Structure 1
């Protein structure tokens, strides 16, 4: 009976911690939505997201899939992206904004870069970046919020 109560108490603590971590990630998501509204802050981030995906692919012809609100912004950056890519890789690149496909309006922003008739792609949307961050950062968030586990002999530095 005491064991059952202890197990229930531990489960409640774990569920509470999980909810708190989810609320931290939801707050970050809200901050990204606000960032998206400020073009002066968002445009350089979008450019870096596109370049990063392009560098991962190292292709000479790519298609960009963006949310409808970002089409004009990305069109205005194409020449600059080509110059930066040439300077970084030594390759000329043909950049096409895919008009047939658009990212969902539920996406906060960012880009999906495809090449070779969509056989390869890099999803560099802000939502995907938040998911990657969450996967990597949850242990750090957990220890920052709740302190290190006293039962652990070695603390992870990852």
Structure 2
């Protein structure tokens, strides 16, 4: 701080000092001492103010820095959670897609096994030693399902002769069990498709009642019952299955 200008001092002050017998040198010395003291006080006060201002500045700066740090941490935590959620969703979608592909592959393979079995049905009807007894069994099953007195029977064109041969025996056995006789008429106008593996279809009540007793229908029925066993044989037991029939 700059020194006080001596000219600003009141003249009466110097005059009173003269009356007290104090020399100008003493006055100057006291004034310099007072000025030094005042300047020191001013410097200390300025330093105190500056220190306090710096402390408040540092505190405010620290608060702002901490506030921004907290915001940044919250932002990255939020982003991290979003990324983790997206990762879980993506992982779940991939697992579901993989599971569906696996299930489809299994079903396709199972369907392939059943299709192969279906294609082999034609070998059964081609076996002249086995097919007559099988066809008789299919006819008997159809008759016992209907238990009707008037029945129309439809078969393959190439099976017509064999059906006519087996029919009397089937009707006799039906009568022995049922106690009544059924009149069965072979439909010679509408035959089963040539690609049918074999068997018969029977109608009663003017076509209102129908029984399908073909090799394909029997395979489909059996397949529906043993598909779980086929799956187990092909792919092993299902670890998620808790109950068994």
Same fold flag (TM > 0.5): yes
Q: Which residue of 1 aligns with 2:226?
A: 137
- SS for the counterpart of 2:212 is strand
Structure 2 residue ranges without an equivalent (≥5):
1-89
Shift of 1:69: 1.0
Shift of 1:53: 0.8
CA–CA distance in structure 2, aligned partners of residues 94 and 150 of structure 1? 53
CA–CA distance in structure 2, aligned partners of residues 8 and 117 of structure 1? 50
Structure 1 residue ranges without an equivalent (≥5):
none
RMSD of Structure 2 on Structure 1 (CA): 1.3
Instruction: Please point out which of 184, 207, 214 is paired with 1:95.
Output: 184
Mapping of 1:3-152 within 5 angstroms? 3-152=92-241
Greater than 6 Å deviation, 4+ residue runs: none
- SS for the counterpart of 2:129 is helix
Structure with more relative contact order (C-alpha pairs < 8 Å, separation 6 or more): 1
Q: TM-score, normalised by structure 2?
A: 0.61
CA–CA distance in structure 1, aligned partners of residues 208 and 102 of structure 2? 45
- SS for the counterpart of 1:86 is helix
Q: Indicate the structure with greater helix content.
A: 2
Moved more, 51-60 or 112-121: 112-121
Q: How many residues align?
A: 156
Q: Indicate the structure with greater strand content.
A: 1
Higher Rg of the two aligned structures: 2
- SS for the counterpart of 2:240 is coil
